[in-house]
Chains A and B, each alone.
Chain A
Amino acid sequence: MSTPAPPAKDAVALATRGLSKAFGSLAVARDIEINLPVGARYALIGPNGAGKTTLINLMTGMLAPNAGQIFLAGDDITTLGPQERVRRGLARTFQINTLFAGLNALEAVTLAVAERRRIAGKFWRGVGSHSETIEEAYEILRRLRLGDSCYQTTRELPYGRQRLLEIALALATKPKVLLLDEPAAGVPQEESGEVFEAVASLADDLTLLFIEHDMHVVFRFASHIIVLVGGAIFTEGSPAEIAADPGVREVYLGKRKHG
């Protein structure tokens, strides 16, 4: 196998080379090569079981690949643990809410900010005395319109707000690259716009890759679309190219068998 050239340091925020993963005989990622330019708004689409979440798990270090490499801003991060990748600026959200149910939104985001500022190990001063950390946390919540409900325990928050809290927790790590796994999953269609508007309002230099099933949302927010089928990249291109691709249509209508 030829070794592909590592990605250019300045232009490519996140890249994978030959990324592969199999569970037993089931290949869930096959030789995946992705280049996310700095500031990209990429969508990752594909039918159920295509390996979209697996790919995010591989990129964030929650799964170890069988082969291949992952580069963050040109640095090989393949062997780093999940928290080291987060500290280097690679954050994610979860398709199924993975929140701190018993903490309120303010506490949860304050914790995430405290971790990033490396003060979460300090036990001799009250949380209340770390005012910069608290203000930063509150600012993130306010930007996602969670300011009003920040004292509510997470498990008591309405579902749509919990989805926004997912994003708030990821933003608290000050990511350079943010991977969103169906950020509006389970949110009623009329409210999913709110989640994506929150996403779209994020800083321009933040590199985004999101998984989404709703094609209206994908075409509205993505600048580039990657289609994943059976653990491999089926095709990629601009929204217009993907919309015009007959192969993609077939995949989604299930006319073609992929094994």
Chain B
Amino acid sequence: MSANTTTITPRAYLQAQSRWHPLEIAFWLATLLPFVLFPDYLSLASQIAITALFALSLDIILGYAGIVSLGHAAFFGIGAYTAGLISKFGWGDPLSGLVLATAAAGLVGFAVSFIISRFRHFTLIMITLGLGLLAFEAANRAHWLTGGSDGLQGMSIWPVLGIFKFDLYGYTAYAYSLAVLFFVFLGARRLINSPFGLALRGIRENWVRMPAIGADSRAHIRKAFTIAAAIAGLAGAVLAQTTENVSLESISFQRSADVLVMLVLGGAGRLYGGLVGAAIFMVARDQFSGIAPQYWYFWIGVLLVTVVMVLPNGILGGLSHIYARWRRK
């Protein structure tokens, strides 16, 4: 161990942190498999990619900066409704719809971040929970605009780039969701390996020390929260566009709770945790609800409790632990 770690220069060491691991390349190649192996499940694959994107956005604030949110679906919903309404009122171009929906969620996230950055721990959980419920009821009440519990109907999405029509089998939907997920992931990966990513980890590791090294933690948190909100909105927009409707469920507490469960299952603070967690959660839901449609959450509960007890850093945390031990041998 000492031979190869002490000779490496500090700069090379930090650069190596952000180098692509072969497993990462394998992971992204594997995301293409559904096109070949499970062509009947492309809609599910698309939902997984969207949920993974949503979980990735939560990972930036929860996994890296240690900011727990129980109301993250608010931004997902804002993105979904924005994309839905733009298309309903006559502008069906998907890409510009994504941009506008992302901006809307990011803007609301920026405003909310001024509250978020002032609080910690339990208070913060309650505030985000409250804001999430607020957003849900607002969407519910604004029936004239959002369709309330009936959902937003009448969307019409044009072909992507004017070429790729959203088909019944979900080819375009999955390709579209996966492409968005991949490009945002590249950005998130860069962010995590940047000085800003280091500062977020600093906030997570020691909130008290940050001001003592001259850091403005609140400014960092505002920035991270805004970015996370924007990405959550983007995920919501992709869901709205690929399914051509927005249900009230997209802004519900259930969605906030689910994404938290996925991130904890997969492993927070390791970028791929949300992606793996989303895949496991969505496939489990698909399978379990086939067996017992009423009680499928029972099994998610069992899975969550088991993982948290046995693998405190989630499934990826456990796997990387095994991998590290195996390499040391």
Contacts and interface: CB of A to CB of B under 8 A. Distances in A.
Interface of A: 60, 62, 81-83, 86-87, 91-92, 94, 98-103, 106-108, 110-112, 114-116, 119-131, 133-135, 137-138, 148, 150-151, 169-170, 172-173
A150 B210 CA distance: 20
Contacts of A115: 199, 213-215
A107 B209 contact: no
Interface string B204-222: 1110111111111001100
A129 B197 CA distance: 14
Interface centre among A99, A100, A129 (most CB of B within 10 A): A100
Contact of A86 (B16, B211, B223): B211
Nearest to A98: B209
Given A125-B194, A151-B5, A101 B206 contact: yes
Contacts of A119: 195
B151 interface: no
Interface in B228-286: none
B320 to A, nearest CB: 14
Contact of A103 (B11, B18, B191, B205): B205
Contacts of B210: 83
Interface in B136-173: none
Nearest to A117: B195
From DSSP, what is the main secondary structure of chain B's interface residues? helix
Contact of B18 (A102, A126, A170): A126
Q: Size range of the interface on B?
A: 35 or more
Q: Which 6 A-B pairs have the closest CB atoms?
A: A128-B15, A86-B214, A123-B196, A100-B205, A82-B211, A112-B213
A124 B194 contact: yes
A172 B211 contact: no
Contact of B14 (A98, A108, A134): A134
A12 to B, nearest CB: 22
Contacts of A127: 14, 17-18, 193-195, 197-198
Nearest to A106: B10
A173 B195 contact: no
B190 A99 contact: no
B42 to A, nearest CB: 33
Contact of B13 (A82, A125, A135, A151): A151
B201 interface: yes
6 contacts: A98-B208, A110-B195, A114-B199, A130-B195, A134-B10, A170-B212
B202 interface: yes
